[in-house]
Structure 1
């Protein structure tokens, strides 16, 4: 190998042996001429012979020579560049098939990945996304029982605070009982008086019945006296005045008999078909007593259901009126979800379809439920100020319809919810054979309580006791005959 600082061609025959490309390139870059050194020496001798002539022309053509040399060097560099490119091109051409194969494989893999991803997404949409409806516009709802007073009074005791558990029949609030007790005592006295008046009316009817035979006997006696005296008048055995007196006595006795019968009928009209318990005045007094008794019991305000206390608005010493909101009891064991689906999502939703729910409160808990019904109208239709779509100021807005979803009771027991919490709803619409509207009415009450029946039962028991205490034996007792004269 020739060293870098050695001139190409030296040490060879004639100095004209071809040299490798890299040495040639270095030579040209160094000397600026592509002719070998031997040729340069021959041309150098000729140039010495003509040196004088050239020296004469150097002054005039020096600048042109420099320009020509520069142009010549540029041409050589371009030529050398082409040669270099040709050599590199050959090497690149040798590497092109492998690079192309590698490029094709990479592009094929990328295209296959995208195709498989598209097919997977299509299958996921067909078998999953198209078979369900989801919304995050859903909230937990439940009954909110407002506790209010049925009588006016002053609060003397508050027995429960917000967030506390409340049992059915538990006393929540107590009112001042003085006024109610006074009214109850007054009603008790009126009931007792009515019972005694009823018995008096019955005895008066019996007394009227007893007066009829007496009046009848007097009438018969007067009639008989008249009948005996009237024939004697023709024989002058009695005076005409005596006969007239007998006739008037008979007429008076008849009138007294008729009056006694009418009085008896009037007395019987008030008591016939009744007993002391069913006497109208007693019934009325008993009703007033029951009302006073219940009002006395209503001074203790009780909870009608099981639940939790919320939104307490009553304080001790406050004067309240009937119907005033005092407290709210929420039964957290019976909650549901109202999912507000867009009208474009309702096509495949049916009653009975399974539902999965998640909440922000328990992010890792999944609730189960089912669709129990679709509301009869959209939210805007039942708003306080419904939209007037018939006016000219109309803009189409996608409406939402509340869909009620029942939550599994066991899930609620394990993970209690609260009213108003937001949920994410996922309805499985694979089974689309169900009904959209309910067809059968409810056979049992939605909610009921019996805490107030106890008040009526106690009032009736007390009323019966008052009636028995004021009922007397009205049977006449026989009078013992006196001995002796």
Structure 2
């Protein structure tokens, strides 16, 4: 009879092998965690990041400078417009009437001033006439005086009657009165000339105060007429159009907005504890939610805000209360974008961004000491209106000044 076979015993090393594998796995996880922590710690030393960042830009409001009724609308939301392009037209009828009246008043003022200059010549001639009257009166007085002297010498021998002597005395008195009147006429003519010269001395027709006052009214009316057409101050895209045909709008009423999408920047709101190492000029890497991680924008820190967002809120926080909870504040950091990248991958105002600032180089300043060159914006659209008004004034003055005027 065969002996029973005893089953082989399970190797004692199996539990040990499982523990070794578990220990190895834990070790690997710990090493990975340590490596990731070290890498994260290294990055935190050289980077500051936030996802509280948004695209910002200039939102140019189109508001009328004069009131009126809307007769035409030439642009709508999403349209691209060029600087100087007409956007809205107001009814110009009243402004046209005011301009016609102002132009007529200017023409009349020019002609009245020309009359003042012409009167100087006329009054000068009047003085010469009055002076000739004085000379004639002196001659008459001298002749009458001689006649009186001859007759007085003949009164004693009876050759001249007393009546004739009295008649001669009357002629002398009349000649003296005529001389006095002629001299008074010269004085009056000179005073009239001086009075007229005070209105024309040291000026020309086009720079005379009366002409300048009338010209100012023409400029005012000209600008009011041409401001009935609202131009686009800058190149950009139309947004928030609220104006409608037939609407009666007042000066300053918002009608639409123009957003130049080539002049964008990012406001990244960093926590106050992140600001200690952020400096102007540091490079920034940004990603937009609209494009995802595949598109990275390169930017530069352009400046740090002068206060926290809460400080400029409509209702600022009042921390001096009994129940107080500290809230970490955020300060907006302006980041300038690369114009070429913005042109290739357009952004819109208000889009969410993620910003990572490389803080390795901390040699820059935290506060700007001068205006950023790209911060200044301007338009020449309204200057063209001023030039047109000046041209209109010069044309009216030239048409009414006459040839050879002062």
TM-score (norm 2): 0.88
Task: Show the 5 A alignment for 1:253-402.
Answer: 253-363=182-292, 364-402=294-332
User: In 2, distance between residues paired with 1:407 and 1:274?
Assistant: 56
Q: Which residue of 2 aligns with 1:405?
A: 335
* Preserved CA contact (<8 Å) 1:203 1:474: no
Equivalent position of 1:432 in the other structure: 362
Is residue 121 of structure 1 aligned with residue 36 of structure 2?
A: yes
Higher RCO structure, 1 or 2 (CA under 8 Å, sep 6+): 2
Distance (whole Å) between structure 2 residues aligned to residue 374 and residue 227 of structure 1: 98
2:115 matched to which residue of 1? 200
For 1:66, the equivalent position in structure 2 comes to: none
Asked if the contact 1:156–1:176 (Cα under 8 Å) also holds between the matched residues in 2, the reply is yes
CA contact 1:196–1:470 (8 Å) conserved in 2: yes
Aligned counterpart, 2:162: none
User: How far does the alpha carbon of each residue in 1:244-290 deviate from its partner, in whole angstroms, 9 at most, with x for none?
Assistant: 33322222222211111111000011011222211211111122112
With the length of structure 1 as denominator, give the TM-score of the two structures.
0.74
Q: Secondary structure at the match of 2:378?
A: coil
Residue of structure 2 equivalent to 1:167: 82
Secondary structure (helix, strand or coil) at the match of 2:310 reads: coil
Gap change, CA 1:218 and 1:444, over 3 Å in 2: farther
Q: CA deviation at 1:296?
A: 1.7
The residue matched to 2:267 in structure 1 has which SS?
strand
Change (3 A) 1:381 1:277: same
Q: Per the alignment, in what secondary structure is the counterpart of residue 242 of structure 1?
A: helix
Give the Cα–Cα distance (whole angstroms) in 1 for the partners of residues 402 and 365 of structure 2: 68
1:180 aligned to 70, 76, 95, which one?
95
Of residues 371, 380, 386, the one that matches 1:450 is 380
Aligned equivalent of 1:83: none
Equivalent residue number for residue 396 of structure 2: 466
> Which whole-Å deviations, capped at 9, do the CAs of 1:85-121 have from their partners, x for residues lacking one?
xx99xx68xx55x458746754663464245324413
Distance in 2 separating the partners of 1:223 and 1:291: 59
* Number of aligned residue pairs: 390
CA displacement, residues 32-61 of structure 1 (integer Å, 9 cap, x when unaligned)? xxxxxxxxxxxxxxxxxxxxxxxxxxxxxx
Q: Is the 8 A contact 1:356 1:369 kept in 2?
A: yes
Deviation at 1:347, TM superposition (A): 0.7
CA displacement at 1:201 relative to structure 2: 1.1
1:482 alignment counterpart: none
Which residue matches 1:39? none
Offset from partner CA, 1:116-165 (integer Å, 9 cap, x none): 32441343134212211111111111111111111222111111110111
Correspondence for 2:24: 109
Cα distance in 2 for partners of 1:195, 1:443 equals 47
In the superposition, relative to structure 1, how do residues 443 and 132 fare at CA in structure 2: closer, same or farther (>3 Å)? closer
Q: Distance in 1 between matches of 2:192 and 2:228?
A: 48
Distance 2:301 2:351 in 1: 19
Deviations 1:362-411 (A, max 9, x none): 11311111110001111111112222233444332111101111111111
For structure 2, the 5+ residue unaligned runs are: 154-164
Displacement of 1:176 in angstroms is 1.8
Identify the residue that residue 74 of structure 1 maps to in structure 2.
none
Who is 1:150 aligned against? 65
Partner of residue 216 from structure 1, selected from 125, 131, 152: 131
Q: Is the 8 A contact 1:146 1:329 kept in 2?
A: yes
Q: Look up the match of 1:61.
A: none
Across the aligned residues of Structure 1 and Structure 2, the Cα RMSD in angstroms comes to 2.6
The 3-state SS of whatever aligns with 1:174 is: strand
Structure possessing the higher radius of gyration over alpha carbons: 1
